[in-house]
A = this chain, B = another copy of it.
Amino acid sequence: MKTLPGKTVERLSQYRRALITSLAANHNYIFSHELAAILHITAVQVRRDLMLIGYGSVMRKGYDVRELIRTIGTIIDAPTGLNVAIIGMGNLGRAITGYFMGKRTNMNIVAAFDVDPQKVGKVVAGVRCYHIDQMKKLKGELDISIAVLTVPPDQAVSLTSMLVSNSIRGIMNFTTVPLNVPDNIHLEEFDMITSIEKVAYFVKENGQQAGQ
């Protein structure tokens, strides 16, 4: 299958979690417009995304929830599951670790790393924190593919080099520092300050008059 658009992948992840919730509420079938309503998007968007992954329903009955969950899994999950490490066990690192607790995802947070001796050795939500110097060794042992970067800004660049030289395959960057990595490493960035400043901008604009 051709690589899916990023936005579609994002929605598939959300569909799946909505479907799991829906299943827990004993809904075995779901219409595109119901799924759309949960995510506050349009039914067309849902159908188009499902078209892209080649999923079809028995018409007029809606989608088989269990089967759709499975299908989304075969598309977006790696066959073996991927292991994730949290780099920086501060508040954000702990928050993300907590987010994964009890979520049925294909990923496992297998380790956290930090430089702070206070944190090294501690276990948060089942995840052990190691000293960053052990990354090289544990990367292979624990088969870590993805790093979630939640360190202070001044350490972002140097730790990224370290990750790159350890052949990490994907990085989710939560620092406020834009990173640069080779093409074969997938990089996703999210900047808290930006996102909140964006809200502020649109609040200001909405205040004056209409508009998005």
Contacts and interface: CB of A to CB of B under 8 A. Distances in A.
Interface of A: 3-4, 6, 9-10, 13-14, 17-18, 38-40, 76-78, 82, 84, 90-92, 94-96, 98-100, 103, 105-107, 145-146, 148, 150, 169-172, 176, 178-180, 184, 186, 188, 190-207, 211-212
Given A14-B178, A178-B38, A201-B9, A91 B98 contact: yes
Contact of A188 (B99, B184, B199): B199
Contacts of A76: 197, 200-201
Contacts of A40: 178-180
A59 B203 CA distance: 34
Contacts of A92: 91-92, 95
A146 B13 CA distance: 27
A204 B186 CA distance: 10
Contact of A195 (B4, B78, B103, B172): B172
A192 B99 contact: yes
A106 B194 CA distance: 12
A18 B39 CA distance: 34
A153 to B, nearest CB: 9
A186 B203 contact: yes
Given A99-B192, A212-B3, A203 B146 contact: yes
Nearest to A175: B99
B186 A202 contact: yes
Contact of A172 (B18, B100, B169, B199): B199
Given A199-B171, A200-B78, A10 B194 contact: yes
B14 A200 contact: no
Contacts of A148: 196
Given A98-B91, A99-B192, A203-B170, A211 B9 contact: no
